[in-house]
Chain A
């Protein structure tokens, strides 16, 4: 038996013991030891990478700040604009200070993302997830636009740190005006719900998702299902 197979066999036996042991300090201790072993194995594998120092180290620390940042929570307070209606047009500044309007993208589907705040834990993972899907969005001919109440300067820094290439728009002053327009502004927090609107090439809202809890990220599989359905309908009607 090779080393990989032996480990797999041992791990399989260990896994099956979960339900055979009564809860006790001993069970907890064994569980902690297992976690320590796996973490050691992971660190050993990562140890081959060269250490990062100086400015690169500082950049990495800033990039990873979100992992230790205070958690954000709260149930949804708003339902958002209903699907079926026209998406209200708006103009906001992007991180370069250039005005961007929703209507600039008329003629192609748009995923309009409202998120609470730059630098926060769940938002960092959410927008990185969309960045990792850029080639798929591009293949489907879809434009992603993200909006929060942060300033354009915050957006600029955050875009660089997270490697985001789609527009981040500053709903900064009057604060949250566009979030209010889409009925997703949380007055108790001073930022928006976590919400998605899928807008078709004619400017009609075809799908919306408002997260029931702030840390919850809309299901990317559901979004792609909706997108493919929208694109498919477009193709089948010859528009």
Chain B
């Protein structure tokens, strides 16, 4: 599922949010990206075993949510500052 809206034209660095619908921090991250108008894909770890496997592979075995992939950055339970830094580094904001 995608959130946000396309910024049009140039293909941007992909952003994927791995999380759950009931996790407040996941909801916070998704809404933060919505407000910044950054397009992203949401993968619900409760219903997407591959997403859960992927996150465990990145995190040393933890089912950490949210985990956000911004290009080459894997952000595990990021703060808004972490997100902002990664989005800026990847020229998404």
List A residues at the B interface (Cβ < 8 Å): 4-12, 15, 17-19, 28, 31-32, 34-36, 38-39, 41-42, 45-46, 49, 122, 125-126, 128-129, 132-133, 211, 213, 215-221
Chain B residues, CB < 8 A from A34: 57-58, 60, 74
Report whether B24 and A126 are in contact in the complex, using a CB–CB cutoff of 8 Å: yes
- Taking the nearest CB of chain A, how far is it from the CB of B35, in angstroms? 9
Q: Does B7 contact A (CB under 8 A)?
A: no
* Cα distance A221–B85 in the bound complex, in angstroms: 26
The answer to whether A15 touches B60 (Cβ under 8 A) is: no
Which chain A residues border B25 with CB–CB below 8 Å? 125
Cross-chain contact of B72 among A7, A18, A42, A216 (Cβ < 8 A): A7
- A223 closest partner in B (C-beta): B27
Are A217 and B23 touching (Cβ within 8 A)?
Answer: yes
Known contacts A4-B90, A8-B72, A15-B54; A42/B27 CB under 8 A = no
Q: Are B72 and A128 in contact (CB under 8 A)?
A: no
Interface centre among B21, B22, B81, by most chain A C-beta atoms within 10 angstroms, is B22
Query: How long is the Cα–Cα vector from A31 to B56 in the complex, in angstroms?
Result: 8
Q: Which residues of B contact A125 (CB under 8 A)?
A: 24-25, 28
